[in-house]
């Protein structure tokens, strides 16, 4: 068992993580050309697409080796891991979700991967040996991969990195070389669990065994989705997935080298527009909205006793309302995050928060989907080494990874190509050298292996021909 370490090393030596070794190119102009126009035949609003050689990578074709995905010509997919595979100490759990990639001193890459298992308390059994909650079915696994002499990736080992948590949906990589995993639930003793849930946990990528779980209650008890860390200020931005009662938060730690010492939780509020509602659309695109931060006085409310939620506390202080905030990623001095069901079409929005001072910043609507054929329920998000965005969909029917250029043109990157395969994409992230895009298909969120099995893939190809 390993305890979380590494933050002081980060402060002392400036440790970097995959996708964060250098700042991405400027994304301020993202979505400059994404005005919707009606199709001349159907009348349905469509957007200009990024074609091959103009940001995108072209039409999607069947993948190699019978892998049931569609990818652009010239790209290759490798299956790295599947639920039920053997791993150190047992079998790989199901329900793969958020994930990040980290460079290791031996030249290998480690993926720290969430498992969004939602099994009820009565049937829950931890998949590790040092659980946070003996009635917690979820957690994270670590997958170490290396490139072999034939130029393909192979798995070195897989093992449990944290267990006994619940509904580990997304999270975020940190500048000190860890994965912050988030619980998307607030279940507790009233639901048959043995611990309260709804917290963030820090999982070092360097840990070689299951860590001692340490909840960070001052980061809020809520339906957490993702986090993104500003490496300069040390502020940690957080998204909440609670329908139309979702907020965008930041955590200001007392000591960024020791998050367990606590800090202040705050919610974003648009200036002069208290309780501003972004959920129904109508927000001008690429128009910066001046914003500030309001306090959430009690970040760890006694929900079982009827205390107001973090969202209610922030809203009462003037905070802004979003529709299902999910993925978040820090790049180019900003936090980019998705509202999965935001906008007038309810098909999703991409937002940017750009800090301008210690307590003020700008909220910018980067992209809003005009219909579900363009972008359907964006969930996890990452920024590529070349500055483009990768959006994981969690919609209906065919599932897509979409790319978004810095000039706002959207394109299809990967698809299931099968309306019967509605297992969402999740956990997209690039390898430290930018050669591989790792991504999960979630599979079933049950702890059993009887439903759809989750899988982790690595995709490689001529990235330099486009924006990713």
What average pLDDT values come out for the chain (468 residues) when binned by 10 residues? 44 38 42 46 57 82 93 97 96 97 98 97 97 98 96 96 98 97 97 98 98 98 98 98 98 95 98 97 94 98 97 98 98 97 96 97 95 94 95 92 86 85 91 97 90 94 95
CA–CA separation, 186 and 15 (whole Å): 33
Q: What is the CB-side half-sphere exposure of residue 453 using CA atoms within 13 A?
A: 13
* Exposure string for 235-256, b = 16+ CB within 10 A, e = fewer: bbbbbbbbeebbbbbbbbbeeb
Contacts of 344 (CB under 8 A, 6+ apart): 280, 281, 282, 368
Note the pLDDT of residue 417. 82
Note the pLDDT of residue 25. 39
Nearest to 241 by CA among 343, 348, 341, 324: 324
Note the pLDDT of residue 21. 36
Nearest to 414 by CA among 468, 341, 453: 468
Note the pLDDT of residue 422. 73
Say if residues 392 and 425 touch (Cβ distance below 8 Å). yes
CA–CA separation, 444 and 452 (whole Å): 5
Say if residues 325 and 338 touch (Cβ distance below 8 Å). yes
| C-alpha distance from residue 174 to each of 55, 101, 138, 165, 274 (Å) | 29, 11, 21, 20, 32
Note the pLDDT of residue 306. 97
Note the pLDDT of residue 15. 35
Tokens of 22: 């250098």
Which stretches within 78-223 are classed as H helix? none
Radius of gyration of the chain (CA): 21
Neighbours of 415 (CB within 10 A): 19
Which stretches within 266-335 are classed as H helix? 310-316
Nearest to 34 by CA among 406, 413, 387, 468: 406
Say if residues 359 and 339 touch (Cβ distance below 8 Å). no
Nearest to 459 by CA among 425, 414, 418, 424: 414
Tokens of 310: 């973090």
* 3-class DSSP state of 48: coil
Q: Which residues pair with 200 in a beta bridge?
A: 182
CA–CA separation, 415 and 80 (whole Å): 18
Say if residues 318 and 300 touch (Cβ distance below 8 Å). no
Dihedral sign for Cα atoms in the order 264, 221, 267, 9: positive
């Amino acid at each position: 068992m390993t305890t979380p370490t590494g933050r002081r090393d980060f402060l002392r030596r400036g440790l970097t993580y995959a996708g964060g070794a250098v700042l991405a190119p400027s994304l301020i102009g993202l979505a400059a050309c994404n005005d919707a126009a009606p199709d001349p035949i159907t009348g349905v609003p469509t957007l200009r697409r990024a074609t091959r050689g103009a940001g995108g990578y072209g039409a999607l074709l069947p993948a190699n080796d019978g892998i049931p995905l569609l990818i652009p010509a010239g790209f290759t997919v490798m299956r790295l891991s599947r639920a039920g595979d053997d791993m150190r100490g047992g079998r790989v759990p199901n329900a793969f979700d958020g994930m990040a990639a980290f460079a290791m001193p031996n030249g290998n890459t480690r993926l720290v991967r969430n498992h969004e298992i939602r099994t009820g308390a009565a049937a829950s059994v931890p998949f590790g040996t040092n659980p946070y909650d003996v009635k917690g079915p979820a957690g994270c696994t670590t997958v170490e991969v290396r490139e072999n002499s034939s130029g393909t990736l192979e798995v070195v080992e897989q093992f449990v990195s944290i267990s006994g948590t619940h509904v580990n949906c997304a999270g975020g990589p940190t500048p000190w070389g860890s994965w912050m995993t988030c619980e998307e639930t607030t279940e507790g003793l009233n639901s048959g669990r043995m611990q309260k849930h709804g917290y963030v946990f820090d999982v070092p990528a360097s840990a070689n065994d299951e860590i001692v779980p340490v909840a960070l209650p001052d980061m809020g008890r809520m339906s957490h989705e993702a986090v993104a860390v500003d490496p300069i200020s040390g502020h940690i931005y957080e998204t909440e997935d609670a329908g139309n009662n979702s907020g965008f938060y930041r955590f200001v730690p007392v000591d960024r080298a020791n998050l367990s010492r606590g800090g202040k939780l705050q919610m974003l509020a648009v200036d002069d527009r208290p309780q501003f509602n972004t959920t129904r659309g109508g927000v001008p695109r690429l128009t910066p909205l001046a914003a500030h931060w309001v306090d959430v006085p009690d970040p760890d409310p006694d929900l079982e006793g009827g205390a107001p939620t973090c969202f209610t506390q922030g809203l009462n202080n003037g905070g802004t309302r979003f529709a299902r905030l999910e993925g978040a990623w820090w790049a180019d001095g900003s936090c980019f995050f998705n509202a999965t069901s935001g906008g007038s079409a309810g098909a999703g929005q991409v937002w940017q928060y750009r800090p301008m001072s210690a307590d003020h910043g700008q909220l910018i609507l980067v992209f809003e989907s005009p219909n579900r054929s363009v972008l359907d329920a964006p969930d996890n998000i990452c920024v590529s080494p070349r500055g483009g965005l990768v959006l994981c969909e969690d919609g209906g029917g065919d599932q897509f990874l979409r790319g978004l250029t810095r000039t706002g043109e959207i394109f299809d990157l990967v698809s299931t190509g099968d309306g019967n395969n509605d297992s969402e994409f999740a956990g997209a992230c690039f390898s430290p050298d930018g050669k591989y895009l790792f991504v999960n298909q979630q599979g079933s969120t049950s702890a059993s292996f009887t439903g759809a099995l989750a899988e982790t893939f690595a995709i490689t190809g001529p990235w330099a021909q486009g924006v990713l």
